[in-house]
Copies of this chain bind each other. A is one copy, B any other.
Amino acid sequence: MNDTDQWLSADEQRSWRAFIRLHQKLVARLGADLQSHSKLSGADFEVLVALTDVPDGRVRFQDLAKEIDWEQSRLSHQIRRMIKRDLLSRKECAEDGRGAFVVITPHGRETIEAAAPKHVATVRSLVIDALSADEFAELGRLSERMLEQIDNVSK
């Protein structure tokens, strides 16, 4: 195994680091922004958005977890915390005694509707406006390709 197998080249290194840093900064910045305007974390936001996309604002845990691609346990913890803050509520499932629905509360709906425009504007100003439409689309394509790769490469 030579150096080019074992390590990244200088160019690769640079691209890779920029890519990773970008993610860290972006998530930190978007999270802080959300928090300061709406008392929501990025996680809260993602859950609430998924719930507004759904009729009755009501979903089974499993379906929600799949929709946003989260582990079951992570979702469970998150939901519990959000219920405490009256953003969500739990509803037993009649068809399956084990299951449960997550329901968005009125307060949850108000909160997400108030937060979304500002958040989207921030995403625009930080990311989309940094690139041309073509570049942004290209970024999307590359991301999708890498996502496929990750799903395909078995652990």
What residues of chain A have their CB less than 8 Å away from a CB belonging to chain B? 1, 5-8, 11-12, 14-16, 18-19, 21-27, 29, 32-33, 69, 116-117, 120-121, 123-131, 135-150, 153, 155
Contacts and interface: CB of A to CB of B under 8 A. Distances in A.
Contacts of A22: 143, 146-147, 150
Nearest to A22: B143
A137 B15 contact: yes
User: Does more than half of chain A's interface fall in helix, strand or loop, or is it mixed?
Assistant: helix
Q: How many copies does the complex hold?
A: 2
Given A130-B148, A131-B146, A145-B131, A137 B11 contact: yes
The 4 closest A-B pairs by CB, nearest first: A15-B140, A130-B149, A18-B143, A23-B23
Nearest to A23: B23
Nearest to A6: B117
Contacts of A141: 15
Nearest to A69: B21
Contacts of A26: 146, 150
Contacts of A144: 18
Contacts of A138: 138, 142
A139 B19 contact: yes
B145 A142 contact: no
Nearest to A7: B120
B126 A131 contact: no
B27 A140 contact: no
